[in-house]
Amino acid sequence: MGGGLLMDSSIFNGRLVNHHVLCNYYVTYRCNAKCSFCDIWEKPSPYITMENALENFRDLKKLGVDIIDFTGGEPLLHQQLPELLSAAKDHGFITTVTTNTLLYPKLAHKLKGLVDMLHFSLDSPIAEEHNESRKVKCFDKFLESIEIAKSLGEKPDILFTVFPHNIHQIEQVYSQFCLPNKFMLVLNPVFGYNEVGQMELGPKELSILTQWGKKKWVYINKAFITLRQNGGNQINKPVCKAGSSTVVISPENNLVLPCYHLGLKEIPIQNNLAELYSLPEVKEMIALEGVHPKCQGCVINCYMNPSFAVQLSPYWLQAIGSTLKYTMQKKMIASYIGHKYRAFKQNSVFR
Pairing outcome for strands 254-257 and 265-268: antiparallel
Instruction: Determine contact, residues 197/164, Cβ cutoff 8 Å.
Output: no
What phi and psi values does residue 266 have, to the nearest 5 degrees? -125, 130
Q: Residue 6: inside a domain, yes or no?
A: no
The residue segments making up the domain with residue 198 are 22-347
Instruction: Report the C-alpha gap between 167 and 270 in whole angstroms.
Output: 44
12 confidence band (pLDDT: 50, 70, 90): very low
Q: Residue 58: inside a domain, yes or no?
A: yes
Can you give the pTM of this predicted structure?
Answer: 0.89
Instruction: Report the C-alpha gap between 291 and 122 in whole angstroms.
Output: 33
Instruction: Determine contact, residues 158/178, Cβ cutoff 8 Å.
Output: yes
What are the strands, taking DSSP E only, across 258-296?
265-268
32 confidence band (pLDDT: 50, 70, 90): confident
**CATH code for the domain of 282:** 3.20.20.70
Instruction: Report the C-alpha gap between 248 and 29 in whole angstroms.
Output: 13
Burial of 281 (0-12, 13-18, 19+ CB in 10 A): exposed
Stronger pLDDT, 190 or 334, i.e. the higher one:
190
Burial of 170 (0-12, 13-18, 19+ CB in 10 A): buried
Is 70 exceeded by the pLDDT of residue 40? no
> What pLDDT score does 15 carry?
87
Stronger pLDDT, 199 or 116, i.e. the higher one:
116
Task: Report, as an integer, the average pLDDT of 250-255.
Answer: 97
Task: Report, as an integer, the average pLDDT of 253-269.
Answer: 95
Instruction: Report the C-alpha gap between 53 and 173 in whole angstroms.
Output: 36
Least confident range of 36-40, 78-82, 111-115, 288-292: 36-40
Instruction: Report the C-alpha gap between 174 and 224 in whole angstroms.
Output: 20
pLDDT tens, residue by residue, 168-209: 999 999 999 999 999 999 999 987 655 544 567 899 999 999
Instruction: Report the C-alpha gap between 190 and 270 in whole angstroms.
Output: 35
Is 50 exceeded by the pLDDT of residue 350? no
Q: Residue 50: inside a domain, yes or no?
A: yes
Q: Residue 12: inside a domain, yes or no?
A: no
Is 90 exceeded by the pLDDT of residue 76? yes
Q: Residue 14: inside a domain, yes or no?
A: no
CA atoms within 13 A on the CB side of 318: 22
Q: Residue 222: inside a domain, yes or no?
A: yes
Helices (H), 166-313: 170-173, 203-212, 222-229, 242-245, 273-276, 280-286, 301-310
Q: Residue 16: inside a domain, yes or no?
A: no
Stronger pLDDT, 241 or 261, i.e. the higher one:
241
Closest CA to 273 of 95, 69, 63, 25: 63
Stronger pLDDT, 68 or 261, i.e. the higher one:
68
336 confidence band (pLDDT: 50, 70, 90): low
Q: Residue 10: inside a domain, yes or no?
A: no
Cis peptide before 197 (omega within 30 of 0): no
- Total of domains in the chain: 1
Stronger pLDDT, 285 or 42, i.e. the higher one:
285
